[in-house]
Amino acid sequence: MTEQERPRRVLSGMRPTGKMHLGHYHGALKNWVNLQGEYESFCFVADWHALTTDYGDTELFANNVVDMVIDWLAAGIDPKNASIFLQSAVPEHAELHLLLSMTTPLSWLERVPSYKEQQTRLKSKSLDTYGFLGYPLLQAADILIYGAEFVPVGGDQAAHVELTREVARRFNHLYDAPVLVEPKALHTPVTKLPGVDGQKMSKSYNNSIALREAPESVEKKIRTMQTDPARVRRTDPGDPDKCPVWQFHEIYSDVKTRQWVREGCTSAGIGCVDCKKPVIEAVLGELEPIRKAARPYEDNPDEVRAIIVEGSERARESAGATMQRVRGAMGLDRW
Ligand code: SF4
């Protein structure tokens, strides 16, 4: 199959954060599952990216990689449809990153919005490193090495895809060869689910619901979750727009139920306990098949490792072919 004939590709990656939560699921993973039927998918664990901010804390990586991939598999990423791989198992990413670093102006990296933002946000970490400045270029290499036409993005990552396009264009122009494919950002519908306290769902905020969390714990978290602070008593009317439970309804409930919530909340016709019941049922219903599907992998993590090894081999094959063209265009194979 020639480069032109192959199916369209999409590349998605996540840092190895370990067990995933509902925020990850609705914000990205569910979308990956949908995309794998439509595109040739490459899903990777971005362990080198994690090093750009957590280079001093590598202990967690080993368990996090397998734990996260168990969630991917349990949520429906099918290794027959998608190559699941580990970034560091495909060293060609590093080679392309190095070669692109020769041609990419420093100012392009310095102006990436997340560079300054993250340095300010993560003040406790020393991020004045070469690796941290270069991580959008590593990301560009991740995408370009597979000739991925599409990258699913949310919010701030659109700037990274734009940088990737510029990097590819400059390379192709400098070496007068159409080697690197300019990817497009794929704006797919993803949903932001807040944590049980209404803030962004995050393990570090202690407000998350894990995909494989025990049902009793899920129920308790939703039963006790934050509501509209103005509804102190059952007889006080509330405003769903000020309540994180409503955001769960927006994802999980049908029109009729949402109407029931709106009317009942604003007229104090229903209590918060009643209101949370359909959410509890829906979340439990969503998580049960995931927990079930995860069990065989939890019992046999070596099978998960084998899937990652196989996916990494497939990825290497494709990355190797791109690198041959890159080396050729740069004249590195003429000696
Ligand atoms: S009734 Fe529902 S939407 Fe209204 S404050 Fe209570 S939990 Fe929130």
CA distances from 100 to 21, 128, 145 (A): 35, 21, 11
* Helix axes 272-299 and 215-223, enclosed angle (nearest 10): 150
The answer to whether 65 and 309 are in contact (CB under 8 A) is: no
- Residue 281 Cα to ligand 1 middle (Å): 16
Half-sphere exposure of 23 (CA within 13 A, CB side): 21
CB of 248 closer than 6 angstroms to any ligand 1 atom? no
* DSSP structural state of residue 332: T
Helix (H, G, I), strand (E, B) or coil at 154: coil
Q: Which two tokens stand for residue 226?
A: 């934050």
- The ligand 1 atom nearest the CA atom of 275: 2
240 Cβ inside 6 Å of ligand 1: yes
Mean pLDDT by 10 residues, the chain (335 residues): 73 91 93 91 95 83 90 97 96 98 95 78 80 94 95 78 96 97 85 91 92 98 96 95 96 97 97 97 98 98 97 97 97 91
Residue nearest to atom 3 of ligand 1 (CA): 240
Contacts of 125 (CB under 8 A, 6+ apart): 53, 54, 56
pLDDT at 1: 61
Give yes or no for residue 227 CB within 6 A of ligand 1.
Answer: yes
Q: What digits encode the pLDDT tens for the residues 138-174? A: 999 999 999 999 998 866 678 889 999 999 999 999 9
What are the C-alpha distances in Å from 34 to residues 57, 312, 332?
A: 33, 21, 40
Tell me which residue has tokens 């080198």.
48
- Answer yes or no: is the C-beta of 275 below 6 A from any ligand 1 atom: yes
Which of 3.20.20.140, 3.40.50.620, 3.90.1150.10, 3.40.980.10 would CATH assign to domain 9-193+300-330? 3.40.50.620
Ligand 1 center to residue 262 CA distance, Å?
8
CATH topology of domain 203-293: Tyrosyl-Transfer RNA Synthetase (1.10.240)
Q: Which of 227, 259, 274, 277 to mutate to test the pocket of ligand 1 (most atoms within 8 A of CB)?
A: 227
The residue extents of the domains of the chain are 9-193+300-330, 203-293
Integer Cα distance of 161 and 169 in angstroms? 12
Q: Is 201 in the pocket of ligand 1 (CB under 6 A)?
A: no
Beta bridge partners of 288: none
